């Protein structure tokens, strides 16, 4: 047992002063509340106690959508003229160069940076299944990515992509038949069934990447796993005309007609959903993963987040193309994008009746809603959930003066001003250290830099 105490602990959606978390040997939270009360519990008597003076404890961030290999696009493609040029002139040339060593090096770099900025779970939407010549396939690369996450000690939801459309040379690295994709997804799921820090979810790529048969297969596997499935949908305006010409209806209506819209459906992007589709998503109990910084970078557009929040759709967050790997940046960008569009303030807080006018709904997009989107038991500091926690230093100047007052001021500062890369000092996944004293607990950053240098120069 481990008893963590801190100046402030986020429990029941508020910062509690003088709080603590009691963690069982199985890595789950036993209790959370006032430190003096937890210390008096009989179950805490034999625990190891760690007093995090000058720190606040939060649930770790959950990055619900990332393609880790795209971190290698940094410095290349930032000034493409449009999305199509970015895809064809930058993304696909990178895809054609990737080998397994580069895939692993990119995953280590991306996940290390995420961890150092407070992320404890990564949702990896992974689709480069085949070798450079289109050979191989199966789960070799997906397994290598999972093993990279395990080396670092970060939790991973491998969103195993199912892709059977497209004729570009790069797409040959993604394509499988629906039968092969389904078999490989089930096999990968079984392979990691005994590891509580790894889950596998089906992820038909998109309407342009996955056929109706593939999307139906993914939906069936999700039901079998009792878990969500993820699909890119309505990211670009062009996705509407593709759906209309292929299926005769808008993207989410196409999913509905396939019988694949339910509470297991998690849409990635959803920028160009119309009013009726947003209502449809809410009525079905589905969720959304939103990637505002990537949407800005690629000129995708602005999703109608306040409307989705008001309808009760859980909105999670991701870093997608991974130019920056910080969920706190994504949280504040959700709100700021709405402000420049609507010329108002406090927009997401205003759309959530339970927010007390605070940044709480933004923080929950990067934590509890991410857990919901990935189907994992984390995202809050509450008994029974995994002890995936982050300790931030109240000595970090980006939290002053709110660090002195605590409460909702501190919560707002965490979302709107904190520089996570310097404020995050420690983190744990299932009670085991991921970041210690501002450094990776299980690997050296030097080793990762050397791997990146080796694959870039090869
Ligand atoms: Zn994506």
Ordered domains of the chain (ranges, CATH): 2-59+389-429 (2.30.40.10), 61-374 (3.20.20.140)
* Distance from residue 399's CA to the centre of ligand 1 (Å): 31
* Whole-number Å distance between alpha carbons of 224 and 384: 24
| pLDDT (0 to 100) of residue 236 | 92
* Distance from residue 241's CA to the centre of ligand 1 (Å): 19
| pLDDT (0 to 100) of residue 137 | 86
Range scoring the smallest mean pLDDT among 41-45, 123-127, 260-264, 449-453: 41-45
Mean per-residue pLDDT of the chain: 96
pLDDT band at 76 (very low <50, low <70, confident <90, very high): confident
pLDDT band at 334 (very low <50, low <70, confident <90, very high): very high
* Distance from residue 230's CA to the centre of ligand 1 (Å): 10
**187 φ, ψ (degrees, to nearest 5):** -65, -45
* Distance from residue 67's CA to the centre of ligand 1 (Å): 6
Q: Look up tokens 């501190």; give the residue.
A: 410
* Whole-number Å distance between alpha carbons of 116 and 181: 34
Range scoring the smallest mean pLDDT among 85-99, 291-305, 421-435: 85-99
| pLDDT (0 to 100) of residue 168 | 87
pLDDT band at 95 (very low <50, low <70, confident <90, very high): confident
* Distance from residue 383's CA to the centre of ligand 1 (Å): 33
| pLDDT (0 to 100) of residue 169 | 83
* Distance from residue 270's CA to the centre of ligand 1 (Å): 12
* Distance from residue 176's CA to the centre of ligand 1 (Å): 19
Angle ∠(124,334,377) on CA atoms, nearest 5: 45
For 6-60, write each residue's pLDDT tens digit: 999 999 999 999 999 999 999 999 999 999 999 999 989 889 999 999 999 999 9
Residue 458 has pLDDT above 80, yes or no: no
Range scoring the smallest mean pLDDT among 7-16, 141-150, 210-219, 316-325: 316-325
* Whole-number Å distance between alpha carbons of 382 and 340: 36
* Distance from residue 30's CA to the centre of ligand 1 (Å): 35
CB contact burial 270-290 (16+ within 10 A = b; e otherwise) = bbbbeeebbebbbebebbbbb
For 261-276, write each residue's pLDDT tens digit: 999 999 999 999 999 9
| pLDDT (0 to 100) of residue 75 | 86
Residue 79 has pLDDT above 90, yes or no: no
pLDDT band at 170 (very low <50, low <70, confident <90, very high): confident
| pLDDT (0 to 100) of residue 456 | 86
- What are the residues whose beta carbon lies below 5 Å from ligand 1 (ion)? 320
* Distance from residue 66's CA to the centre of ligand 1 (Å): 6
Task: Say whether 175 sits in a helix, a strand or coil.
Answer: coil
* Distance from residue 289's CA to the centre of ligand 1 (Å): 10
Q: Dump strand ranges (E) for 318-449.
A: 389-393, 424-429, 432-436, 439-440
* Distance from residue 53's CA to the centre of ligand 1 (Å): 39
* Distance from residue 162's CA to the centre of ligand 1 (Å): 13
Residue 385 has pLDDT above 90, yes or no: yes
> Which runs of consecutive H residues, i.e. helices, occur in 226-326?
238-247, 251-257, 275-284, 292-297, 305-310
For 172-225, write each residue's pLDDT tens digit: 899 999 999 999 999 999 999 999 999 999 999 999 999 999 999 999 999 999
| pLDDT (0 to 100) of residue 134 | 79
Share of the chain above pLDDT 90, in %: 90
CA dihedral sign, ordered 112, 117, 121, 125: negative
More confident residue, 75 or 20: 20
* Distance from residue 183's CA to the centre of ligand 1 (Å): 23
* Distance from residue 205's CA to the centre of ligand 1 (Å): 9
């Amino acid at each position: 047992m481990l008893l963590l105490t801190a100046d402030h602990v986020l429990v029941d959606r508020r910062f509690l002063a003088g709080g603590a978390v009691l963690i069982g040997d199985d890595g789950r939270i036993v209790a959370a509340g006032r430190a003096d009360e937890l210390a008096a519990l009989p179950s805490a008597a034999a625990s190891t106690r760690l007093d995090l003076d000058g720190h606040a404890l939060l649930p770790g961030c959950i990055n619900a959508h990332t393609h880790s290999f795209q971190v290698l696009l940094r410095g290349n493609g930032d000034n493409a003229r449009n999305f199509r040029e970015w895809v064809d002139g930058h993304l696909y040339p990178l895809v054609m160069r990737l080998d397994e060593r580069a895939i692993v090096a990119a995953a280590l770099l991306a996940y290390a940076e995420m961890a150092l900025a407070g992320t404890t779970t990564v949702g990896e939407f992974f689709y480069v299944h085949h070798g450079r010549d289109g050979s191989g396939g199966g789960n070799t690369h997906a397994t290598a990515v999972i093993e990279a996450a395990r080396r670092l000690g970060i939790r991973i939801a491998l969103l195993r992509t199912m892709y059977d459309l497209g004729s570009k040379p790069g797409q040959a690295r993604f394509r499988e038949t629906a039968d092969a994709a389904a078999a490989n997804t089930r096999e990968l799921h079984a392979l990691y069934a005994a590891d509580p820090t790894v889950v596998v979810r089906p992820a038909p790529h998109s309407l342009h990447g996955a056929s109706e048969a593939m999307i139906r297969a993914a939906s069936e596997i999700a039901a079998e796993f009792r878990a969500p499935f993820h699909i890119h949908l309505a990211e670009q305006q062009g996705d509407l005309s593709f759906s209309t010409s292929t299926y005769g209806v808008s993207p989410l209506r196409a999913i509905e007609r396939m019988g694949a819209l339910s509470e297991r459906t998690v849409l990635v992007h959803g920028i160009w959903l119309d009013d009726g589709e947003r209502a449809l998503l809410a009525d079905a109990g589905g969720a959304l993963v939103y990637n505002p910084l990537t949407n800005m970078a690629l000129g995708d557009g602005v999703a109608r987040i306040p409307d989705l929040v008001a309808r009760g759709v859980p909105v999670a967050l991701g870093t997608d193309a991974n130019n920056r790997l910080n969920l706190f940046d994504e949280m504040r960008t959700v709100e700021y994008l709405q402000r420049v569009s609507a010329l108002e303030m406090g927009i997401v807080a205003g759309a959530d009746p339970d927010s007390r006018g605070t940044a709480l709904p933004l923080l929950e997009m990067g934590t509890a809603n991410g857990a919901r989107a990935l189907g994992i038991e984390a995202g809050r500091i509450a008994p029974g959930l995994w002890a995936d926690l982050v300790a931030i230093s109240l000595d970090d100047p980006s939290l002053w003066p709110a660090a002195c007052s605590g409460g909702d001021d501190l919560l707002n500062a965490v979302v709107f001003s904190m520089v996570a890369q310097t404020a995050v000092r420690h983190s744990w996944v299932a009670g085991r250290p991921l970041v210690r004293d501002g450094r990776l607990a299980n690997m050296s950053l030097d080793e990762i830099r050397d791997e990146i240098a080796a694959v870039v120069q090869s």
